[in-house]
Structure 1
Amino acid sequence: MTRDRTTPHRTTRHRTARSRSRAARHRTPAVLAAATLLLSALCAGQAPAAAPPGRVGVDPVVAEKLDDAITAAMREADIPGVGVGLWIDGDESYVRSFGTSDKTTGTPIKTDMHTRIGSVTKTFTVTGVLQLVDEGRIRLDAPVSTYLDGIPGGDRITVRQLADMRSGLYNYTEDPRWLSTFQADPYRSWTPQELLDIAFRHPADFPPGARWAYSNTNTVVLGLLVEKISGQPLHTYLEQHVFAPAGLDATSLPTGAEITSPYVHGYTNFTADGATVDASGWNPSWGWSAGAMISTIDDLRAWVPTLVDGRLPDGGRLLEPGTQAQRLRMLPTGHPDVGYGLGIARIDGWIGHNGELPGYETIAVRLPQARATLVIVVNSDVDGKTGSLSSLIANRVTKIVTPDHVWDLPPAAQPQAVPEPTPSSTPTP
């Protein structure tokens, strides 16, 4: 539920390495998904029966409505490009791309293009933490000072409170001096410790566990925790233990500003003069474990069911069932219909995460009762009067396909890794 920036270098994955990584984790058989109602009916030579309550269906009429709703929203908000994927029970139901990935060349946006996914990164980082919990190397309710030094109040902040955004640690991306520095040089490289030094100059916002408040600082601390306990750089750990087992060949955590081709160009007005520019080459290291990853719509389609259901494509599990259950234990955020678990959110029934950073917005969620996965990619964060562009598209889509579960994330519940420009920080043109 936030904004971040990062583009990882895509690394080559070998099946032997993937097999070793999979074999290293506990597996339990998974029940094969049933064929869709429509497919069953067609094979039997019958007319399709009505979908059960809560079930999503996309026929040509619905698809046309979605096309019209998305293109209308793009015109309304002046969005350059949008990619939308809606899958039901593992079957490709509605996959469309609209507009351009590059306003200079006019290259169309496509679903296999790499994009910066912002705070969807948090779902991967926290997965790494929970894997180490399963291995008995981290305890969720242990103070973080058990594992890391230098965290103010770390003897009272638990690992769980970092993962569910209840630590009280100040969010470094709200620091005015950091914002000015970032605007002055968005190509600068940041280390995790530099980011934490900024956060720790500020007192805690509240005592640990007192309430919920979104803070990128929490996930940066968790990224360092994974590195300390695993003995590996975070990008290496995630590659071997999360991306490869989940079959995510186009997903990575970059170590610099690189982004794999073909990629979506992202447009932002988070600039000193308020002008809209191409931010695809900006360095996302300031987001690191909280928001620097890149992926594709196709990879996110594969990731979301694993994230929400806990099952891998090969029928095994990424996490133990008990740990997965704890991840999905949503606590109130103070906003209606919005809950937050361990690096994962629930918005009116949709479970997953969204991400925003200069030039890019992403939503990757699942509605379990409908067995539906929804992925949305937008290559602009110039929100203007409409607010979050990805939420605008998600709202229009879900009004049509899941009217009982409409995406409606309140602006106050949509923290941004980089706050919106204000007259004091960014003059309007």
Structure 2
Amino acid sequence: MTRSTGRTCSRVIALCTAASLLSTVSGAVTAAAVPRHRPPCARTEGRPRGAAAEVLGIVREARRELDLKAALVRVTVDGRELVTGAAGESMAGVPVTPAMHFRIGSVAIAYLGTILLQLVDEQRVGLDDPVSHWLPGLPHGDEITLRMLGDSTSGLHDYVTDPEFVKKLYADPFRQWTPRELVGISTSHPLWYEPGTNWSYSHANFVLLGRALEKITGTPLDRLVRARVLDRLKLTQTRNGVTPQIPHPVLHAYDDERGPYEESTYWNPSWTTAPGAVLTGDICDLARSAQGIGSGELLSRRSYRVQLNPGTVGLGTPTATCPATVCLPQTRAFHFGIGVIVRNDWVLQNPSFAGYAAVQAYLPAERLAIAVSTTTGPGAPDSNTAQTIAERIAAALAPKHPLGG
């Protein structure tokens, strides 16, 4: 993330979860709004030793080094807790706790991809069905398939690269954006390439995928995500945000992308993905999500393999119409699947939004799940700081499988 107003456009582009990794109304609801089907996420009890102590040491050191306001972590092995912890403050004088809720952004994109593949498993759709069947009138809808929306090979322009969009977003970060507005910005530009022939991240893909899933199932997206992912994984603290509110207790965020370092907790995330998939959660749910999505728990073996490699490897070639900052090389070791990122055998998502950053990462070979959430201080680097911490934890716990480059 950029630290000056001169680079605001690139700051918003970094919210594209894959691109950021491969180079993404005040008031809180009452505690009663969040069901407590399990005890609130809490720190590891007792004095941590061994690997647990090492992980907490990495988090504390990184918080100081990277100038983070707060950092939360949870690591599990085969679903069993190794360590859960938090360091720093939510607000001045308010210590951060693992029970605090934060925005999980593009983690929902993994859920959309998973739901699509569930429908393929049920033979209700085919990945190569054209989206025009459910979204008539979409430009190039006869050429763009469900697979291309899910693995980001549609060629659709990413609206966050539009300078006019960035200008409006920063002028009013509380604005409620509609899918029609967002997709309209994308389709007002030419395709970056012929659908299916290259790779480039576009937020429009997932706005459209969410709408297509609603049309296919006849179910509102928030209910669809709840029934097919959240409930099945028992993610009781994960909620769709109809408004910019975040359930209590809240991890507050601060950001300087508009110039001054200011509170950004309740900036409106409506532009980030499809309505019904704008989610908040806590660090325990994030670790469980990493395990459930990363292991393919909700899919057939065949669909899980497709999710990890839908045919993107070898794509990502810069062209005259698709610059190197957009068309990023997809290799077997580092590529985008259907709603997930695959890096050195890790399956992950790494959202970043308005001072919040997070990572959910799972290493199937070790059954190791890492979840990290951070908020930034005024001197924090431009990168996804949760990703940096997760990489250091992975290096300590699984040195043969680096999460970093």
TM-score (norm 1): 0.77
User: Match for residue 391 of structure 2?
Assistant: 395
The answer for unaligned runs of 5 or more in structure 1 is 16-58, 312-317, 410-429
- What is the alpha-carbon distance in structure 2 between the residues aligned to residue 228 and residue 383 of structure 1? 45
Relative distance call for 1:68 and 1:305 in structure 2 (3 A) is closer
- Cα offset for 1:64? 3.5
**Aligned residue among 352, 355, 359 for 1:363:** 359
The answer for unaligned runs of 5 or more in structure 2 is 1-16, 38-47, 317-328
- What is the alpha-carbon distance in structure 1 between the residues aligned to residue 69 and residue 361 of structure 2? 23
- What is the alpha-carbon distance in structure 1 between the residues aligned to residue 378 and residue 357 of structure 2? 10
User: Match for residue 192 of structure 1?
Assistant: 179
In structure 1, what residue type is equivalent to 2:359?
Answer: I
- What is the alpha-carbon distance in structure 1 between the residues aligned to residue 389 and residue 54 of structure 2? 13
Are positions 1:251 and 2:238 aligned together?
yes
What does the per-residue CA deviation read over 1:245-297, in whole Å, with 9 as the maximum and x for residues that have no partner? 221111122112111111111111121xx111111111111113397211111
Q: How does 1:169-248 map to 2 (within 5 A)?
A: 169-248=156-235
Relative distance call for 1:117 and 1:14 in structure 2 (3 A) is closer
- What is the alpha-carbon distance in structure 1 between the residues aligned to residue 232 and residue 35 of structure 2? 11
* Larger Rg, first or second structure (1 or 2): 1
Are positions 1:380 and 2:376 aligned together?
yes
Relative distance call for 1:177 and 1:60 in structure 2 (3 A) is same
The answer to whether the 8 Å contact 1:84/1:377 transfers is: yes
- Cα offset for 1:244? 1.5
User: Match for residue 85 of structure 1?
Assistant: 74
**Aligned residue among 276, 281, 284 for 1:295:** 281
- What is the alpha-carbon distance in structure 2 between the residues aligned to residue 239 and residue 64 of structure 1? 35
Q: Which moved more, 1:348-357 or 1:125-134?
A: 125-134
Name the Cα RMSD after superposition. 2.5
The answer to whether the 8 Å contact 1:190/1:286 transfers is: yes
SS at 1:153's partner residue?
A: coil
What does the per-residue CA deviation read over 1:37-81, in whole Å, with 9 as the maximum and x for residues that have no partner? xxxxxxxxxxxxxxxxxxxxxx82443433333222222221010
Percent identity over the alignment? 31
The aligned length equals: 354
Q: Which moved more, 1:251-260 or 1:232-241?
A: 232-241
Relative distance call for 1:405 and 1:8 in structure 2 (3 A) is farther
Are positions 1:263 and 2:238 aligned together?
no
User: Match for residue 340 of structure 1?
Assistant: 336
What does the per-residue CA deviation read over 1:204-249, in whole Å, with 9 as the maximum and x for residues that have no partner? 1111122211111111110111121222221122122321122111
TM-score (norm 2): 0.81
SS at 1:378's partner residue?
A: strand
Are positions 1:321 and 2:301 aligned together?
yes
Are positions 1:406 and 2:391 aligned together?
no
In structure 2, what residue type is equivalent to 1:240?
Answer: A
- What is the alpha-carbon distance in structure 2 between the residues aligned to residue 384 and residue 112 of structure 1? 24
The answer to whether the 8 Å contact 2:307/2:340 transfers is: yes
Relative distance call for 1:288 and 1:335 in structure 2 (3 A) is closer
- Cα offset for 1:310? 2.7
User: Match for residue 73 of structure 1?
Assistant: 62
Relative distance call for 1:230 and 1:382 in structure 2 (3 A) is farther
What does the per-residue CA deviation read over 1:302-341, in whole Å, with 9 as the maximum and x for residues that have no partner? 2222212233xxxxxx333322222122633515631221
Relative distance call for 1:66 and 1:246 in structure 2 (3 A) is closer
SS at 2:175's partner residue?
A: coil
User: Match for residue 99 of structure 2?
Assistant: 112
User: Match for residue 278 of structure 1?
Assistant: 263
**Aligned residue among 97, 103, 106 for 2:86:** 97
Q: How does 1:32-51 map to 2 (within 5 A)?
A: none
The answer to whether the 8 Å contact 2:33/2:247 transfers is: no
The answer to whether the 8 Å contact 2:34/2:247 transfers is: no
In structure 2, what residue type is equivalent to 1:325?
Answer: R
- Cα offset for 1:399? 2.1
